[in-house]
Each structure stands twice: as structure tokens, then as C-alpha cells.
Amino acid sequence: MTAAVPVPKHWYNAAADLPELYEPYIDPATGRELPADSLTELFAGELVEQELDRDTRLRPIPEEVQARYALWRPTPLLRATALEKAIGTRCKIFYKYEGISPIGSHKANSGVAQAYYSRRDGRKRVFSETGAGQWGSAISMGSSFVGLDAEVFMVGSSYDAKPSRRILMETFGAKVHRSPSPLTEVGRVARKPDENDPGSLGLAIGEAVEAARADREAAYALGSAFNFVCLHQTVIGQELRAQLDAAGLRPDALISCIGGGSSYAGLVFPFLDQVERPGRKLDLVAVESNAVPKVTKGKFAYDHGDSAKLTPLIKMYTLGHEFAAPGIHSGGLRYHGLSGQVSKALHLGLGRAVAYSQLEIFRAATLFARTEGLIPAPEAAHSIAATIELAREHRDEERVLVFCLTGHGFFDLSAYQRYNQGQMDDSDSPSAAIEASLGQLPAVGNPGTSGASEDPFNAWQRWHFGAPRPSASGAVGTDLRGYRVVSERLVREASQGGAGDLLVARDAVITPAAESEARDLGRKLVRGGDR
Ligand SMILES: *Cc1c(COP(=O)(O)O)cnc(C)c1O
């Protein structure tokens, strides 16, 4: 039932319609809002703007990215009639199939966009992490499209268990490191007690961030949770809306699983205006694993995005950054936190969360495979379990239920083998571990010892690395030598302070937009000076 709908030409920024979705990131060293320029160090200027944007409803998708999307978009909307029959429900079950992308999941939607912006920003390399290997595949493919080198830190246990995902990334030209690796301080510390440490996503994030920080020509990329990743995924919901409209259908429930929350955001954000409608409310269902129950058992609080505490504090549903997720077969759902925007929406009552165990989701996946012929990724099987339960609950009503089938399970067959042979353990909520890690949430505004007059970026840098940026003293003109990336915004802000040259570090990356901004403002960018 795939109606021919156009691929969206814009991404939808829900924060423009719902400003309350936006919660500022907090600098752990100062307790104050994180300055934009500390994000520019890691991300292309355009991505930082997307991250912080509360005004622009629709952001145009660059033509080059649109051309890549056209390789697999629009993705099909399919009806699961055989599944409906097997359940014995009058509900109509549809699924939006994102597994059709070249790498087999929705992550491609952001992978091509992040690689494109990083390259255009003048970066030569991108560092990232991957758990199950889905995001690593996406950023590797996106990077190969634009001629960017990609280096991926892959969680050790996945690296050992999933060589096929590693080979896929390497075929795209990426370098894949088993994490924890000897290449970073974060990795070396973790390897001390055990060189074969199985690693974790939090650790791999720490390694990728550290590597990107140390390399002036590099950017960092991540596969979920951040606002710009959620933004890129809104092509899913926009297309779905057009497809349902074309079929004369109105959804009663939208369902997706939540790892960092990007597919859920992409599916439901374009429908937020329909939640409180006359007649039946639109039911938005976020599905998590009962082994990583950040919404159903966690807290809505400021927390770090990684266990190395290299990221700023994000207000979100979290199990605590020290939470060590149990080893379930849904690698993409093992993250301790959740997108700030998705968290806020759920906190406001725009949507609800449910949790399922590992055996429950494999039972649902197997029923889906046998009726519809498609083997889902274990992450997506969470959505199937929730959809089946809704369809049973409302078996006598003609409700329209739509779930996002985020990816196929062809790289997860060993998990299916385990299930088929009756050897799979069920998962449980690790209550004691959750209580312990929730006790480690940071005391916002209190972790550092910085004086009130210190530049927040310096304080943040010092808190992590003990090395402050050089001060402006002794320089002629405005000293920007402490910045490894000179962005358009930085030039604009620095130019407000007066006239004269803008002094930048000898090896700083000056973005093309920054260069033209300086020209427009009549300021000269002068490289040089010792750091
Ligand atoms: C990464 C992943 C997820 C979870 O990530 P979100 O950002 O929450 O969407 C779900 N399904 C698949 C197939 C994935 O690769």
C-alpha cells in the first residue's frame, strides 16, 4: 500500500512549535548553560545551529543529502494483514520499513547528513562509536559518500561477536577499533585491569570524543539522542503523514522503540499537533527493554551522556551514567539515557513508555517473521511486541496502529539461533544496579571549583583536562587562539567587542562561513602566535 509520496525537502524542528521541548545543556563545571562554541569544537557549525535552534520550523535538506536519501526513500508503509489475522484483531497494523536503507536501518538518515556537514565544514576525519554496529555502518557509508575518513570505536563485546558488521564498515573504508582501545586515555585506563574488557557504549563514546578533541581536523559524530539526530530522522514521520493522508487513514497509535530516541522522535514529532485532537487521542508509545528501563524506572534529571563524563549535562530520562546495561541482544537499546527532547515530550505527557523483556520481544519477532516474512532487528521487535499487545487489547475496534520497523535482523541471526534453540535467557529489571547508579547523578552546578568570573569553556576544559585555554592577555586585537575551530558565530561574537585583527591559532580550522563572515565584517583573521 505504498502510495507514491515525495521525499521531504525539509527536516521538521519540533522545538519551534513546542518551545518547552528545549532544555539547555548545562556545563558541569559552571552549572550554567553550555556555550555554543564548546559544541563547535566537536561538530560542524551547521549541526550546532540545528542542535540549538528553537525558531526554525522547517530546515531545508541540502540537495546532496536529498540525492542520497533518494537511494532508499521514500521508505514503504506496509500493512501486516497476515499478522492481524494471526492475532485475531480488527485493528489495522501498518509498519514504516526503515530497514530498506543500504545499511539496513534508519540510522542512515542521519549518517549521510552528519558526514556531509562535517566534510563541508572543512573536517577531514570523523570519529564515532558504535554499539551493535548499526550507527557505525551509517557513518561509515555517509563518510565514504563525501570523502571523509571515518574511525569507529566499536564496543568490545560487539566487535568480538559481530565480525560481519565490522567488515561492512571496513568495506566502506572505515577504520574500526575494538573499544576500549590503546589509542585513547579513556581506553587505556579501562584496559589496565583487563585488555579484553568487553567495553560499553558509554566508554566508546568517551574514546571517540577524546580522539576527536585531540585532532584538529576531526569532527565527532553520534547516532542518536542529540537534537540534530532527531531532526534528521523526521523524514520518517513526515513521509508517513503523507502516506496515511494519501490512503485516507488517520493513525490511532504510533509506536517505536527507544535507544537514544531518534527513531521515535522521527516517527512521532511530525504528529505532535494531532495528539490532543477531538475524538480519539493519538496514542504515542515509546518501547524500551525491561533491562534498560530509563523511562519506566529511571529519573528525569540532568545527567552525563557517557560514563567518562566528557559530554555536557542533558536533562533527560536516565538510569545514571554509571549504569552498566545487562547484555541483551538489542544493542541499540542499551543506552542509559534518552534524547532530551523525547524525554521532555514524555515528561509533558505527550506519549507514554512501556517495557518488554527479551523473550517477549523474540516471541513477537518470530510471529512477525512467520506471518510477514521479515526478520526484524531485535530493537524493532520491541515495537512489534507493543503493537501486538495493543491490537489484542482493542481486538474489536478498527484502530490504525503504525509502528516503525527501524531495521532488519540479518546481522542478528545468532541471537535468533539462541532463541530458536531455547537457549535464550529472559531479561529482568536490574533494580539494585539502577538504584546504585541513580545515586551517582551529578549535583548540577556544583562539580567544579571554578570561580564565577572564569570563562565557562575554560572551566569545562579545565575540569576535564586540567589545561585551560590561553588568556587574551598580551595579544594585539582579539585573541581567538584558544579555539580549535573558528566558526561563523565565533567571528560574529568576537567582532562585537571592537575593531582590529582576530588572532587565531596557527593550526585552527577556520570554517568557510567564518571566513566570509570575517570578510563581511571587515575583520582580518590572522594566524599565528604561540599557544
Ligand atoms: C540504533 C537503533 C535503534 C535505537 O536507536 P534510536 O535512536 O532510539 O532510534 C533502534 N533500532 C535499530 C535497528 C537501531 O539500529
Q: What residue segments make up the domains of the chain, in order of their start?
A: 13-30+39-59+104-221, 71-103+229-438, 468-528
**Which residues are CB-neighbours of 531 under 8 A, at least 6 positions away?**
470, 481, 482, 505
pLDDT at 497: 67
User: From ligand 1's centre to the CA of 527, what distance in Å?
Assistant: 43
What's the pLDDT band for 490 if we cut at 50, 70, 90? confident
Average per-residue pLDDT for the chain: 89
User: From ligand 1's centre to the CA of 521, what distance in Å?
Assistant: 44
Per residue in 440-467, pLDDT (tens digit) is: 898 763 333 233 334 444 444 444 444 4
Q: Measured in whole angstroms, how far is the alpha carbon of residue 381 from the centre of its chain? A: 19
Tell me the range of 393-407, 483-497, 504-518 where mean pLDDT is highest. 393-407
CA–CA distance, 269 with 284 (Å, rounded to integer): 10
User: From ligand 1's centre to the CA of 332, what distance in Å?
Assistant: 5
pLDDT at 112: 98
Which atom of ligand 1 approaches the CA of 380 most closely?
Answer: 11
User: From ligand 1's centre to the CA of 11, what distance in Å?
Assistant: 19
Does residue 101 have its Cβ closer than 6 Å to ligand 1?
A: no
User: From ligand 1's centre to the CA of 132, what distance in Å?
Assistant: 10
- The topology under which CATH files domain 71-103+229-438 is Rossmann fold (3.40.50)
Per residue in 35-91, pLDDT (tens digit) is: 878 899 899 999 999 999 999 999 999 999 999 999 999 999 999 999 999 999 999
Instruction: Report the pLDDT averaged over residues 84-106.
Output: 98
Instruction: Report the pLDDT averaged over residues 381-406.
Output: 98
Does residue 206 have its Cβ closer than 6 Å to ligand 1?
A: no
Per residue in 272-293, pLDDT (tens digit) is: 999 987 778 999 999 999 999 9
pLDDT at 508: 66
CA–CA distance, 331 with 329 (Å, rounded to integer): 6
Instruction: Report the pLDDT averaged over residues 2-7.
Output: 81
pLDDT at 454: 42
User: From ligand 1's centre to the CA of 451, what distance in Å?
Assistant: 41
- Residue 358 grid cell: 527479551
Does residue 134 have its Cβ closer than 6 Å to ligand 1?
A: yes
User: From ligand 1's centre to the CA of 44, what distance in Å?
Assistant: 23
Quick check: 506 pLDDT over 80? no
**Cα–Cα nearest to 223, from 263, 184, 192:** 263
pLDDT at 75: 98
Ligand 1 mutation pick, 134, 155, 232, max ligand atoms within 8 A of CB: 134
What's the length of the chain?
531
Percent of the chain surpassing pLDDT 90: 70
Instruction: Identify the three-state secondary structure at position 200.
Output: coil
What's the pLDDT band for 468 if we cut at 50, 70, 90? very low
pLDDT at 446: 30
Taking CA atoms only, the protein residue closest to ligand 1 atom 4 is 259
Which atom of ligand 1 approaches the CA of 262 most closely?
Answer: 7
The strand pair at 125-130 and 149-155 is best described as parallel
Per residue in 303-343, pLDDT (tens digit) is: 998 888 888 899 999 999 989 888 889 888 999 999 999 99
Distances (CA, A) of 369 to 73, 86, 165, 285, 498: 23, 12, 22, 22, 66
Taking CA atoms only, the protein residue closest to ligand 1 atom 7 is 262
User: From ligand 1's centre to the CA of 256, what distance in Å?
Assistant: 9
Taking CA atoms only, the protein residue closest to ligand 1 atom 13 is 407
What's the pLDDT band for 478 if we cut at 50, 70, 90? confident
Quick check: 140 pLDDT over 50? yes
Instruction: Report the pLDDT averaged over residues 91-115.
Output: 98
In this predicted model, which residue has the larger pLDDT, 401 or 484? 401
- DSSP string spanning 504-519? E-TTPEEPHHHHHHHH
Which atom of ligand 1 approaches the CA of 224 most closely?
Answer: 7
Q: Which H or E run contains 417? A: helix 413-420
pLDDT at 452: 34
Which atom of ligand 1 approaches the CA of 266 most closely?
Answer: 9
Q: Do domains 13-30+39-59+104-221 and 71-103+229-438 have the same CATH topology?
A: yes
- The topology under which CATH files domain 13-30+39-59+104-221 is Rossmann fold (3.40.50)
pLDDT at 453: 37
User: From ligand 1's centre to the CA of 495, what distance in Å?
Assistant: 42
User: From ligand 1's centre to the CA of 258, what distance in Å?
Assistant: 7
Per residue in 173-215, pLDDT (tens digit) is: 999 999 999 999 999 999 999 999 998 888 899 999 999 999 9
Taking CA atoms only, the protein residue closest to ligand 1 atom 3 is 332
Does residue 266 have its Cβ closer than 6 Å to ligand 1?
A: no
Does residue 407 have its Cβ closer than 6 Å to ligand 1?
A: yes
- DSSP string spanning 486-502? E-HHHHHHHHTT-SS-E
pLDDT at 445: 37
Ligand 1 mutation pick, 233, 328, 333, max ligand atoms within 8 A of CB: 333
Residue 33 carries which DSSP code?
B
Does residue 261 have its Cβ closer than 6 Å to ligand 1?
A: yes
Quick check: 2 pLDDT over 70? no
Taking CA atoms only, the protein residue closest to ligand 1 atom 5 is 259
User: From ligand 1's centre to the CA of 379, what distance in Å?
Assistant: 6
Ligand 1 mutation pick, 257, 330, 346, 404, max ligand atoms within 8 A of CB: 257
Ligand 1 mutation pick, 96, 101, 105, 254, max ligand atoms within 8 A of CB: 105
- Residue 300 grid cell: 528525569
